[in-house]
Amino acid sequence: MNAKPLVVALLLVASVTVPVAAASAQNTQEGQAGAFVSFEAESNAVVDYTVGGTTVVENVSVQSESEAGSGANVDLGGSADFSGAGLSVASSMQAGGSATIQSESGATIESHDNQRGVLVVRPAGGSQAAAINVSSDAEAESESESRVVIEKDDGTQAVVLATGDAEVAVTDEGDVEGRTGEDGTLVYRQYDGERSDDDESQEQFIANGTATAELYYQQASESGESSGDRAVNVVNYGQDTTVEVTERSASTLNATVERSQSEGKVVLVSVSEAAMENAESTSVYVDGEAAAEASSYSEVASAANGGDNSAFLVRSSSSAEATTDVVVGINGFSERELSMQADGGDGATSSGGQPGFGVGLAVVALAGAALLAARR
């Protein structure tokens, strides 16, 4: 069936300025630095992947699965012969945006400049193998074929998730290896300290395909800059999903979410307290009607899985990240309007705000998908 847009609106109570300037990010062909994330893109590896000043992963490299392990399928958890395919920067990092690294093997590595430093490895034209080497003061532990947890001596944690038909495991040397399969992805997320139960529930939504996209509303000053600029960083986990943010203001953040499938999905929204006040008291409306406030992640998942009504869950972070997460289970993707409001509004949406902002974010969100489609 024809995909129809889903309009997402968040009413905020924070001052708004112009979008984060590209000048606040420092870029070279090799070095990339945004407000939260920095790394070096060398000839065959992403090196020193740093989030919020902390490095958990020393390098990430990718290679077609047919070439890894001396021409055989990668034996996850073993010691594959892994050299890494050549890399080039397809799009450079801007503060609050993303960078795309293209591999000669066909894979793309997407780095998103948000407070969790989300990194996504996507295949193109065949299954890809990825090697993720952790820092010397970190230890990786496999929880399942779809999740590996990494922890540094200082308590900082990160995870590598496998979505779709991807798999991930810990090698004999204590590093992480994964394979994407034809249609899966590998997702890296880093935390400021120890993961919470809410973090683990959201990870599960990503790994099992329940969550199709994630939005980060954040402020440049969180990176130590004097600017009060704000940005919305969009991560697409489903290949059939596109997100375009069309408006942001002191009271509203509008976005269009479009899927090629009609089934319901979950959209994760992470809001920094520095960018928005009172997010923990938000109300959610779908097509002008109040969505049900859920008391658990299972209720949100049930709503997204063909429920009678959409549902939402609000969780305040207990970590040093100082964020509020709004987890929205949308029960279908016909034409829907979603409004998340913190000022007692009635669920109405508008298309005002800052013209042109959505177009820029749509380009960022679709860059990886365009590269993928071109190679196919």
The token duo for 187 is 């997702």
Annotate 136-156 with b (16+ C-beta within 10 A) or e (fewer): eebebebeeebbbbbbbeeeb
Q: Quick one: which H or E segment has residue 315?
A: strand 311-316
Mean per-residue pLDDT, 352-370 = 41
Measured distance CA(354)–CA(170) in Å, rounded: 46
Q: Taking 90 as the threshold, does the pLDDT of residue 246 lie above it?
A: no
Q: Which amino acid is at 243?
A: V
Q: Taking 70 as the threshold, does the pLDDT of residue 78 lie above it?
A: no
DSSP 8-state code for residue 20: P
Mean per-residue pLDDT, 321-336 = 84
Give per-residue pLDDT as tens, 338-358: 777 766 556 666 554 443 334
Give Cα separations from 69 to 74, 80, 91, 131 (angstroms). Answer: 5, 5, 30, 12
Q: What percent of the chain has pLDDT over 90?
A: 51
Looking at mean pLDDT, say which of 71-85, 94-108, 130-144, 225-239 comes out highest: 130-144
Q: Taking 60 as the threshold, does the pLDDT of residue 212 lie above it?
A: yes
Give per-residue pLDDT as tens, 145-165: 999 999 999 999 999 999 999
pLDDT of residue 142: 97
Alpha-carbon radius of gyration of the chain: 20
pLDDT of residue 372: 42
Q: For 23-37, 204-218, 356-370, which range has the lowest pLDDT when averaged over its residues?
A: 356-370
Count the Cβ atoms, other than its own, within 10 Å of residue 239: 17
pLDDT of residue 162: 98
